Structure 1
Amino acid sequence: MKIVVRVRLEVSAYQADALAATLRACNRAANHVSRIAFDSGEKRRNGLQPKVYRHIKDEFDLSAQPACRVVKKVCDAYATLNATVKAGRLGPSGDKRRNRAESKPISFREYAAQAFDDRCLSWNTDQRTVSIWTVSGRLKGIRFTCSDGAAKVLAEHRRGESDLVHRDGRWYLFATCDVPAPAAYLPSDWLGVDLGIVNIATTSDGTVLSGRRLERYRKRMVHLRAKLQMKKTKSAKRRLKALRRREQRFATDTNHSISKTIVTTAERTSRGIALEDLTGIRERVKAKHDQRYRLHSWAFAQLGAFVEYKAKRAGVPVVRVNPAHTSRQCSACWHTHRHNRVNQAAFACRACGTTLHADVNGSRNIRHRAADAWTRGAVNRPTSA
């Protein structure tokens, strides 16, 4: 399985300037290549590279391999756009979003990330240093910091390209590592997990992982940002810049903790994990104006991805089930009715009288559906020893 390890570079002022100049040159070249690809209609690497290779080397002062990486970056961007359009995520033909995306060349930000392969970037994991090509020459001995576990993964499993990223005044490398995953075991049962906003995750065991702390933090950040934006002073703008992505990092840390708890529980009890397939939920759900921020701040896709990759590393099977009516169906007698869900927190079956926490009832329905999905071969099942 492929995972990404992030390390932070400890750079001097000169090294930071050289890295910044390199990103600017690569992205200017990428914008030039993108315009040619858009005008000519040639978006395959084999056809596009002969048209632009010599020019971007001379015009933007790029070496041979970085020039090739720039062309690949542009071709990959157009391939991603094409896949997004085919999947319908930009709407049908004639939709404004789709027309906006298809009517002009793809553009790259001045400091957008740039991929480097082993010819442009070399690692010394023992000394925790890297050597990287720049437009100012090769920079050697740049120290990086990461955890001991991340350093071990880098040393043993790093494969392919690494991305140079500039974020909030700091420099990072995102390295792709190919870590062998253990074979998934045959589950004795399933741990159903219901994802929500008030309660981020609720398991079929009755464990409720509340989102109140994250909700309070979000409200506080919204209030703080609004107050700083009203001031319109230089110090307020500096403070707003310092607060950038802080809420996102807080939510990511929360999702890491919750996903680790779920996977550890399933692994300890030899069970699999059952999640709802919530693909496209933001397009399906029609929220009121005051609820849209909460819905679009809800990082359920990230939490699901964290659960899946942690489970894969631990050999825990994961299955996605149809989420239809999991909140309205009784987990005891299977009676389904919209009035069974009394309110956000309460479930009371109108047929058998069962009363439960609504999220616990939903997670138990997910658990029951997981066994059926597993039996029907909805996932790749391991063979018993």
Structure 2
Amino acid sequence: MKLTVQIRLLPTPVQAAALEATLRACNEAATWAGGVAFEKDVKRNFALREHTYGEIKARWRLGAQAAQHVIKKTCDAYATLKANLKAGNLGRPGSKRYRKATEKPVAFRPGSAQPYDDRMLSWQMAGRRVSVWTVVGRIKDVAFTGSAEQLATLALYRKGESDLLVWDGMWFLNATCEVPEAPPNPDPHDFLGIDLGIVNIATTSDGEIMAGRELNRIRTRERILRTKLQKKDTPSAKRRLKKRRRKESRRARDINHKIAKHVVAEAERTGRGIALEELTGIRERVRLRKPQRATHSSWAFAQLGAFIAYKAEKAGVPVVYVDPAYTSRTCAECGHIDRANRVSQAWFACRSCGFVDHADRNSSRNIRARAWQLWRRGALSTAPAPPPRQRGGARRKRSVTASDARCANPAL
């Protein structure tokens, strides 16, 4: 399987200036190529080369490999835009957002990532140095660092291109690695159901609850602080905002990694698979009150699901996705479905058989049961398709309620 290992570069000021000039030149060339592709309606790699390759090399002093990567990056951007338009991610045709995306060529920021292949970048793993092509010549002995696990993965499995990028003055290389997968478990004896939520980030069908109350309190405090700093609008306030802008996402990412690692390790230890809800389109399917929107939109549930999926694939643990409809209203003991079963955010009480349990644990048991039924039928998912857009931009109403939303709205 392919994994991306992020390595931090430690360039000297002279080396950093050369890298910055290279990124700026490559992205200026890519923006110009994007304009040519838009004007001539030529958005395929080899066709666009005929119109831009020579000009890019001459005007921006790029090497042959760099010029080809610039053109390919431009074509990839148009391919991504086309896919987003087709999926409806940029609104319906004719909407303001749709027109904004289609009526002008793609453009690249000066610090956008630039791909490098092995002709432009060489690694000296023993000395932790890289040699990088730049517009001012090849610079050697650029130091890099990373965690012990990252460096070991890089040394053993690096294969393919690497992306050079800069964030807040820090330089990174995102290296592609082909990591071998463990043999998949073809015959799990059961599944570990995982209910993802906002109040409780993840609840397993074993009854283990990984609460997110502390994280939510921190997020609320950070949001209030951001609002105050934005209102002050002073140079010092802007410096503090810039310093803190990625702190919350780093914290959430770290927590999600830890939860995913724990869940996959438990499933692997017990010989079980993992059952997850398919939450694609949850923001379009669920209507929330205004105070709840910021909390719901800032929760990285997709990131946590992706972490669980790739770690499970690496460990050979099967993952099954189920439709989340009514998992919060269904009794895990008798199967009775009733909205009134969900007494509160925390508790579930069946109106038919009287079964009482923690609401998220009850939902995770329903998820486990659905996954087991799917697996026995030879299926891997009952993921519902995203609701189609109607004319006028409105989403079609669905009769399903994702269990995710119940954490933000206990009435669901």
TM-score, normalisation: structure 2: 0.90
2:322 matched residue in structure 1: 321
2:6 matched residue in structure 1: 6
Equivalent pairs, count: 380
Alignment of 1:24-103 (within 5 A): 24-103=24-103
Indicate the SS of the match to 1:42.
coil
Alignment of 1:255-334 (within 5 A): 255-334=256-335
Amino acid at match of 2:23: L
Amino acid at match of 2:194: V
Amino acid at match of 2:264: V
2: CA distance, partners of 1:149 / 1:127? 17
User: C-alpha deviations, 1:136-180, integer Å up to 9, x for none?
Assistant: 111101010012221121111111110111001100000010111
Distance verdict in 2 for CA 1:316–1:223, change over 3 Å? same
2: CA distance, partners of 1:71 / 1:16? 24
2: CA distance, partners of 1:116 / 1:189? 44
1:20 matched residue in structure 2: 20
CA shift at 1:364, angstroms? 0.2
User: C-alpha deviations, 1:45-75, integer Å up to 9, x for none?
Assistant: 0100111000011111111110000000000
Unpaired segments ≥5 residues, structure 1: 381-385
2:218 matched residue in structure 1: 217
2:406 matched residue in structure 1: none
CA shift at 1:280, angstroms? 0.8
Amino acid at match of 1:194: D
2: CA distance, partners of 1:84 / 1:242? 32
User: C-alpha deviations, 1:346-380, integer Å up to 9, x for none?
Assistant: 11111111111110010000000001221233239
Identity of aligned residues (%): 56
2: CA distance, partners of 1:343 / 1:331? 17
Indicate the SS of the match to 2:165.
strand
2: CA distance, partners of 1:116 / 1:336? 55
2: CA distance, partners of 1:231 / 1:103? 36
Alignment of 1:97-112 (within 5 A): 97-112=97-112
1: CA distance, partners of 2:95 / 2:183? 44
TM-score, normalisation: structure 1: 0.97
Which range is displaced more, 217-226 or 276-285? 217-226
1:383 matched residue in structure 2: none
Amino acid at match of 2:93: S
CA shift at 1:98, angstroms? 1.9
CA shift at 1:268, angstroms? 1.1
CA shift at 1:182, angstroms? 1.3
1:342 matched residue in structure 2: 343
Indicate the SS of the match to 2:210.
strand
User: C-alpha deviations, 1:268-315, integer Å up to 9, x for none?
Assistant: 111110000001111111111111111111100000000011111111
1:237 matched residue in structure 2: 238
Q: Which portions of structure 1, spanning 4 or more consecutive aligned residues, are displaced by more than 4 angstroms?
A: none
Amino acid at match of 1:3: L
Indicate the SS of the match to 2:251.
helix
Question: Would you say 1:140 and 2:140 are equivalent positions?
Answer: yes
Question: Would you say 1:159 and 2:164 are equivalent positions?
Answer: no
1:188 matched residue in structure 2: 189
Unpaired segments ≥5 residues, structure 2: 382-412
User: C-alpha deviations, 1:66-91, integer Å up to 9, x for none?
Assistant: 00000000001111111122222223
2: CA distance, partners of 1:79 / 1:22? 24
Amino acid at match of 2:63: S
Which range is displaced more, 204-213 or 151-160? 151-160
